[in-house]
Structure formats: structure tokens, C-alpha cells
Amino acid sequence: MVTLKEVYQLNERADFQFIAQELVDYYGLRSKIKFTASAGVRGHYVPEKDTIFLKRSYPNVKELIISVLHEIQHAMDAKRLGRRRYSKKYDQAGTIAVHQGKDPYWDNKWEKRAENWGKKEYRKRWKNKF
């Protein structure tokens, strides 16, 4: 028999797919959301397919939202500039970082911009919603 105390200890499980899709819809994008084991550190945006790949689990909802917002920024840049032009500029920024002896991913100006935007947008708009 289940006691009342055990019932209250159950935690509500967040539907990450639903949260991610709602955020994408909120920003007026048509990007698809896919969860995969090979999504990189937290997520990855593929402009050619207009797909946001996210890893399968996150330690908390905050990390999920910041990751989705980060990838949404990439999608908005691709929408604004065009997918081909965005890919070209993103690759150029990575190449410049390599020539300067830096990491092509972590020192890419597009990645830094998206990360800062995601964190700022979370604090400004989404922190108290979830």
C-alpha cells in the first residue's frame, strides 16, 4: 500500500520536448527539435536541416532552457542572414579562431554571442516561468 507521504515525494517530470518546442514556437521559428546522444556538450543547430539537436537529459530545467535558447539564437541568425551565408560566416569565425591559436568552437564569436543571449534571455524572460 502506498502511503500519503510517498505520494508527495513523487516529483513531476518535465517534458523536455514540449518545453523546447514551445520556446521555438514563441520565437516564431519552424525549427525541428530532436534529442540524440551525439548532440555535443549541450546542443547543436544544423542550419541546412533547420534542426536543433539536444542531448537526452539535463541536470535541471534551467540548463535545458538556456541550451534551447542558445540554439534558438543560432536559428534566428540563420533565418536573418540566410542559411548558406550564416554557415559561411560561422565557419569563417571558427577558422579565424584557429589561426589565432584558439579553439574553433569555444572561441567562435557566434557561439559566444549565442551563449550570452541565451543566459540573458533566460534571466529576463523565462526564469520565473518554469
CA gap 31, 75 in Å, rounded:
7
- Cα–Cα distance, 50 to 89 (Å, whole number): 17
Dist CA 38 CA 44 (whole Å) = 9
Q: DSSP code of 13?
A: P
Grid cell, residue 63, equals: 540548463
The topology (CATH level 3) of 13-123 is Arc Repressor Mutant, subunit A (1.10.10)
pLDDT band at 49 (very low <50, low <70, confident <90, very high): very high
> How does pLDDT run across 68-83, given as a tens digit for each residue?
999 999 999 999 999 9
Band of pLDDT at residue 124, cut at 50, 70 and 90? very high
Q: What is the pLDDT of residues 22-42, one digit of tens each?
A: 999 999 999 999 998 775 678
Of 84, 69, 80, give the one whose Cα is nearest residue 117.
69
Whole-number pLDDT of residue 10 = 45
Domain spans of the chain, in order of start: 13-123
Q: Indicate the pTM of the whole model.
A: 0.85
